Amino acid sequence: MHILVTNDDGVHAPGLLALAQAMRTLGKVTVLAPDHNWSVSGHVKTLHRPLWVKETLLADGTPALATDGAPSDCVALAVLGVLSETIDFVVSGINPFPNLGNDLTYSGTVMAAMEGVIWGIPAIAVSLDGDENNLKHLNYETPAAVAVQVVKQVLANKLPDETLLNVNVPNRPPEEIKGFRITRQGKRVYKDVLIERQDPRGRPYYWIGGDAPVGITEPDTDVGALEEGYISINPIHCDLTAHHLIEPLKKWSWPSIS
């Protein structure tokens, strides 16, 4: 099995190293990841400019490929031919911070995995519930071990077309993890605030700041699972349709256009 490992934090992020090392227990690993951080970058396909792919080394001395493209570009590049060997699985992560609720729609980590399933390749995204104010205590050992188990589950059970698993793991040692919980996408309330400053010429500029989002705890959601010490396994797909609204909308009084 040939596994593509990518992320949105950049090829030299420690979470990617932990993930690549864990995936080597399952098969051949190729790392192709962005050369810089693309957090909160969404689902990108870079068409308007060419992309570089350069060889580099991970901190453990193993070879990797870096590109100036986005996380989802890494997957497209790999699939479309930068790698001579076909890819059997895409694993994206380990993001140091959780991808929960509406974060998913912005997440480079999740969208890299989504790009995989769009090209017909099984994929998972893996994130750690790390604390941004305590970077020394990011436990990548647990999500790396979890990722191995989740890949095995997907291989054994198969997922339908264009579906993937968004995996979030508590920042705790393995023995303190309560287990897996299958979840739906929950809610986080964003606490963004706009900071207005002036440049050296007196012109205003803006910076989006503010506190971390606050999760709304519901036990069957990704947010709730993490809060209760469970690994969240959220099956997601590319279909944004609010299917429950199709019939109600047909009853609206749609006018004639001509």
Instruction: Kindly state whether residue 47 participates in binding its own copies, applying the rule CB under 8 A.
Output: yes
Q: Which stretch binds its own copies (CB under 8 A): 24-32, 74-82, 88-96, 126-134?
A: 74-82
Tell me if 25 contacts its own copies by CB under 8 A. Answer: no
With contact defined as beta carbons under 8 Å apart, do 170 and 177 qualify?
Answer: yes
Angle at alpha carbon of residue 213, lines to 211 and 218, rounded to 5°: 150
To the nearest whole angstrom, how small is the minimum distance from the Cβ of residue 12 to its own copies?
17
* 26 makes contact with its own copies (CB under 8 A): no
Distance between CA atoms of 46 and 193, rounded to whole angstroms?
Answer: 30
Cβ closer to its own copies: 58 or 231?
A: 231
Element (H, E) at 67: strand 63-67
How open is the CA angle 16-216-186, to the nearest 5 degrees? 55
Stretch that binds its own copies, among 14-22, 73-81, 89-97, 128-136 (CB under 8 A): 73-81
Taking the complex as a whole, the smallest distance from the CB of residue 52 to its own copies amounts, in Å, to: 6
How far apart CA 93 and CA 75 sit, in angstroms, is 13
> Of 88, 145, 217, 229, which one interacts with its own copies (CB under 8 A)?
145
Closest CA to 108 of 8, 35, 1, 250: 8
Q: CA neighbours within 13 Å on the CB side: how many for 129?
A: 22
Smallest separation, CB 253 to its own copies (Å): 8
| CB-nearer residue toward its own copies: 28 or 191 | 191
Question: Is 241 one of the binding residues for its own copies (CB under 8 A)?
Answer: yes
60 vs 242 by CB, closer to its own copies: 242
> Which is closer to its own copies, CB of 52 or CB of 137?
52
Q: How many residues in the shown chain lie near its own copies by CB under 8 A? A: 90
| Closest of 103, 114, 97 to residue 185, by C-alpha | 103
> Residue type for 146, please?
V
CB of 90 to its own copies, least distance (A): 15
Asked if 7 and 91 touch (Cβ cutoff 8 Å), the reply is no
Dist CA 147 CA 127 (whole Å): 10
258's tokens: 């001509």
Residue 184 binds its own copies (CB under 8 A): yes
Residue at 180: amino acid letter: F
233 interacts with its own copies by CB under 8 A: yes
Name which of residues 194 to 223 contact its own copies (CB under 8 A).
194, 196-197, 203-209
Which residues are CB-contacts of 88 (< 8 A; sequence separation ≥ 6)? 1, 2, 3, 27, 121, 122
Among 100, 114, 138, 223, binds its own copies (CB under 8 A): 114
Out of 80, 155, 212, 214, which residue is the one contacting its own copies (CB under 8 A)? Answer: 80
CB of 107 to its own copies, least distance (A): 9
Q: Which residue in the set 37, 62, 216, 219 belongs to the binding site for its own copies (CB under 8 A)?
A: 37
